[in-house]
Amino acid sequence: MHPDFDPQPILSDDILLLRPLRADDLDPLHTAASDPAIWAGHPVKNRHQRAVFEPYFATLLDTQATLAVTLRKTGQIIGCSRYYAAPDHANSVSIGYTFLAKDWWGGSTNLALKTLMLAHAFACVDTVWLHIGLDNIRSQKATAKLGAVHAYDGDIGLGGVPGMWQCWRLEKSVWTARLSA
């Protein structure tokens, strides 16, 4: 990851508070992740199962770059997202490993989450990478709405899952123009 980048900030707007993931977040984050529909387009389709989710949670916690997505007013955890370096771009900043509880799909929550994370990333870099499973159409559409472009497919071994991933690039200038429109 870019050497000047802080991967565990506290970010907030009127609705969301993003904070570093903690060990005591396991139960509420699993509750948010327990719907099989969340993982239907993901390479690990059974991640809603507690036995599969726990090692994933441990990995997220160990990275020290994962943010719990909480509702600012109540503190309820509704998902998480993470900063990481793109495996094929040294000193990069990527955003991924994102999921939201199904109740938060289809509205402005993902945009609000990504707006907070992108603002933080673009304070340090001019390009942010996002990586999406080839079958994850929902995330591909959401990423395109951000203004990101599908740059290429790559076998980049992301998250310990071998195989091809779509590699999406979002430039700071494109994001800034999108926000101004």
Does residue 127 carry a pLDDT above 80? yes
Question: pTM to 2 decimals?
Answer: 0.94
Q: Which residue has the tokens 């709405």?
A: 145
Determine the average pLDDT of the residues in 122-137: 93
Q: Please count the other Cβ atoms lying within 10 Å of the Cβ belonging to residue 89.
A: 14
Mean pLDDT of the chain: 93
CA-CA distance, 2 to 125, in Å (whole number)? Answer: 8
Determine the average pLDDT of the residues in 156-172: 86
Looking at residue 67, its pLDDT comes to 98
Does residue 161 carry a pLDDT above 70? no
pLDDT band at 87 (very low <50, low <70, confident <90, very high): confident
Q: What are phi and psi of 154, to 5 degrees?
A: -145, 145
What percent of the chain stands above pLDDT 70? 99
Does residue 83 carry a pLDDT above 70? yes
Looking at residue 106, its pLDDT comes to 79
Alpha carbon 11 to its chain's center:
14
Determine the average pLDDT of the residues in 66-90: 95
Which of 83, 94, 79, 81 has the alpha carbon at shortest distance from 48?
A: 79
Question: Would you say 24 and 75 are in contact if contact means Cβ atoms under 8 Å apart?
Answer: no
pLDDT band at 36 (very low <50, low <70, confident <90, very high): very high
The pLDDT tens digits of the residues spanning 40-63 come to 887 788 999 999 999 999 999 999
Looking at residue 163, its pLDDT comes to 81
